[in-house]
Amino acid sequence: MGSQLARKRFGQHWLTSQSVIQSIVTAAALTAEDSVLEIGPGTGVLTAALVERAGGVVAVEIDRDRSRQLRHHFAHQPNFTLVEGDILDLDLSALISPLGDRPLNRVVANIPYYITGPILEKLLGTIAAPNPQPYQAIVLMVQREVADRLCARPGSRAFGALSVRVQYLAACELICPVPARAFTPVPKVDSAVVRLTPRPLPVTAQSPQRLEQLVKLGFASKRKMLRNNLKGLMAVEALTTLLGQLGLAPTVRAEDLSVEQWVTLSNSWE
């Protein structure tokens, strides 16, 4: 597809591994009934696999030259639509499948790593304001360190505020690690494919704003005990009592609480 020169300012690294592309497509579990949002199609190698399997593909590309090449390459595909622009500036709810007025129900993307956080928030929403039209599945290529944090379990070193914020909104699975050599040009970091499946927890926060505040403060200093990070909101003695009522040790740290325990703590707050 024309020039393959990557642009550093867009964080471009072209995925060249066909086995990784296959893993991404398999994880997305696409059928002819699905309409897919692809972020940053780049050279179109992943796009081609998506177009083969999905009913419709809407690709968002910020690079003007790359957009022109993609339009030319996929001009014969009736189930492909290209939107030129910045994904962070778009109203995603207004994007419509090329095969009619059905909404986009899945996301597949090799995203620019420098805007991973804003893209996750764009797709999932926040604890206080979840996406009102959640996708059935979101399959993303992210930096390996970020993938570990997204999918981390309580008690692990990688478990942090990002883990809680994302896992409150979606189940997260690590699909496969991706070495740097799977890209051109070769990046300085390894990557991984993750699948996020938006879903409500069995117990949700009665005050999502409070939960967001507790998580932010609780992880502000991971080396401190939770009661010390939260003492600005409640006296240490009262907080120790509350933790005990929830079956938590007074010395517990933020990373030791599961997402469900964070919700329970928030809901028990006075």
Q: Which CATH superfamily is domain 8-198 in?
A: Vaccinia Virus protein VP39 (3.40.50.150)
Neighbour count for residue 171 (Cβ, 10 Å): 14
- Mean pLDDT is highest, among 2-16, 106-120, 176-190, for 106-120
**Average of per-residue pLDDT values in the chain:** 92
Is 11 a residue whose pLDDT tops 90?
no
pTM for the full predicted model: 0.91
Question: What is the tens place of the pLDDT at every residue in 121-180?
Answer: 999 999 999 999 999 999 999 999 999 999 999 999 999 999 999 999 999 999 999 998
Q: Do domains 8-198 and 208-268 have the same CATH topology?
A: no
Instruction: In whole angstroms, give the CA distance from residue 133 to residue 106.
Output: 11
How confident is residue 112, by pLDDT bands cut at 50, 70 and 90?
confident
Query: What is the separation, in whole angstroms, between the first and last Cα of the chain?
Result: 60
CATH of domain 208-268: 1.10.8.100
Q: Where are the domains of the chain?
A: 8-198, 208-268
Nearest-CA neighbor of 145 among 178, 185, 183, 110?
178
- What band does 12 get if pLDDT is binned at 50, 70 and 90? low
pLDDT at 16 (0 to 100): 85
